[in-house]
Amino acid sequence: MSAVSADRPVRGYIDGCFDIMHSGHYNAIRQAKNICDILVVGIHSDQEIAENKSMPVMRQEERYRLLDHIKWIDEILYDVPYSPEIATLERARADFCIHGDDMPVNSQGFCAYDEMRNAGRLRIIKRTEGVSTTDLIGRLLTLSRNQPSDLGGASPTMGLRMSADEVIEAAAAGDSNAVKLLRESVQQLVAKYHISSQDAAPLQDQIQTLETVLNQKPRDLRDMQDKGDESQSQGQGGYARTQVPVQLLASTRRIREFSSAKQPTSDDCVVYVSGSFDMFHVGHAEFLKDARELGTFLLVGIHDDASISKAKGQNLPVMNLNERVLNVCACKWVDEVIIGAPMSVTEDLVKTWDIHVVAKGSGHKCNAGEPKYDPRFEVPKKSGIFKELPSRWPDLCHDTVVERIIRGREEYLTRNKDRARREDTYYETKKISNSVAEA
């Protein structure tokens, strides 16, 4: 089936682990769909992934089921080999295989796609820069992220790590309250996730360093900048990164590529849901599917980073607003997204968007201790348009993912060290593209 016939649809094949899904995965799937008529997506089993890299964070059923809800996918092939073979393409009835320009290496140390390349049945698409599973696992490993929270005038840029300029500003202001708040936040993390004293030690050390720095005179702080930068570069299991991690640069073009072109009409029944949708997973996707079935047009509100951080804690969300918006837009049940939606459903919001139903998930076991009454939905409840949907995945939430990462911390540190080195090599050797269409 190597020759593509003009009288039948072109079939393309792309595969992956699809662990902790992000916009890079979705953009690869979107690009793949653009070069074929029918896109077959293959996904590896837990055992296959473990034999070639390490155990995935998300369970096999969670990864498999999520693909059912993603745009651009026509067919799914389960339990495919890590290194695709010609037999894999025949099984998928595909004309060619598709992969990004960052080729993976299998357990034997060879490019996993050599057979496809040698057979002339490999098509290359552009890797999405600024987001990767390695980066996301790194954020979870350090229990940190870019956040806008105000800690007594000192704003951490990566969890407990602070830039030199921010440290200097905090010291110049003579503000010691930041250290106190940081200590309290670590104590909360230790208690919530049952972190051992050994795992918590790096966080405590960072706070101690910060306290020492804050006690220095501002003019002496510049001398400490090089050491601080050097220690922060070794956040991937001891590997000192040669490249600064590339940030995801959102654009209106990318949002447009991910978005639905559908507009609500006067005949539509508009359903509204809102949330953080952090670490988008199958539980989110199936909730959106159920919500969509309540009407004919699904409108999703996504809260901004600052609001989530204030409501849920300074280490959340793990993914920033741009990343979360693209993830939700990749779900095929979503018709429109409000970026930076208000935390509460207001009367003005309902009237402006002509909302007929406001849906909310029943929550999961992670929220078992939270009060049942939620003032954010007072307006739709009084209007009689509120609907609560039972969760299909009550055990799956952000806390679940964090606990898995912590339990396998050493394995994921080793994995991230190797993956970070590969990412740095990719950025060091990449060539400038003449076309930004797939950047």
pLDDT digits (tens, 9 = 90+) for 58-116: 999 999 999 999 999 999 999 999 988 999 999 999 999 999 887 777 667 778 788 88
Same domain, 113 and 182: no
Task: Please report whether residue 428 resides in a domain.
Answer: no
- Overall average pLDDT of the 191-214 stretch: 66
What is the domain extent for residue 356?
252-389
Residue percentage of the chain with pLDDT more than 70 = 65
Rg of the chain's alpha carbons, rounded to an integer? Answer: 23
Q: Which of 21, 214, 52, 58 is nearest to 132 (CA)?
A: 21
Task: Please report whether residue 423 resides in a domain.
Answer: no
Q: Which residues pair with 97 in a beta bridge?
A: 13, 122
Q: Which residues pair with 40 in a beta bridge?
A: 13, 75
Task: Please report whether residue 421 resides in a domain.
Answer: no
Among 365, 389, 413, the domain boundary falls at 389
The more confidently predicted of residues 306 and 177 is: 306
The more confidently predicted of residues 365 and 136 is: 136
Sole residue written with tokens 């590529």: 257
Task: Please report whether residue 160 resides in a domain.
Answer: yes
Same domain, 43 and 172: no
Same domain, 372 and 261: yes
Same domain, 155 and 82: no
- Overall average pLDDT of the 146-160 stretch: 35
Domain count, the chain: 3
Residue percentage of the chain with pLDDT more than 90 = 46
Average pLDDT, the chain: 78
Same domain, 30 and 158: no
Same domain, 15 and 109: yes
Task: Please report whether residue 429 resides in a domain.
Answer: no
The more confidently predicted of residues 252 and 406 is: 252
Task: Please report whether residue 95 resides in a domain.
Answer: yes
Same domain, 374 and 279: yes
pLDDT of 103: 74
Task: Please report whether residue 430 resides in a domain.
Answer: no
What's the predicted TM-score (pTM) here? 0.72
- Overall average pLDDT of the 362-367 stretch: 66
Whether the bond into 264 is cis, omega within 30 of 0 = no
Same domain, 349 and 263: yes
The more confidently predicted of residues 436 and 429 is: 429
Q: Which residues pair with 43 in a beta bridge?
A: 16, 78
Same domain, 24 and 119: yes
Task: Please report whether residue 422 resides in a domain.
Answer: no
Asked if residue 340 has pLDDT above 80, the reply is yes
Among 109, 131, 153, the domain boundary falls at 131
The more confidently predicted of residues 334 and 135 is: 334
Asked if residue 182 has pLDDT above 70, the reply is no
Among 232, 267, 301, the domain boundary falls at 232
Give CA–CA dist 286/283, Å, rounded. Answer: 5
Give CA–CA dist 200/187, Å, rounded. Answer: 9
* 177 pLDDT tier (thresholds 50, 70, 90): low
* 289 pLDDT tier (thresholds 50, 70, 90): very high
CATH number, domain with residue 290: 3.40.50.620
Same domain, 178 and 264: no
pLDDT of 371: 60
The more confidently predicted of residues 186 and 228 is: 186
Same domain, 164 and 44: no
Same domain, 272 and 163: no
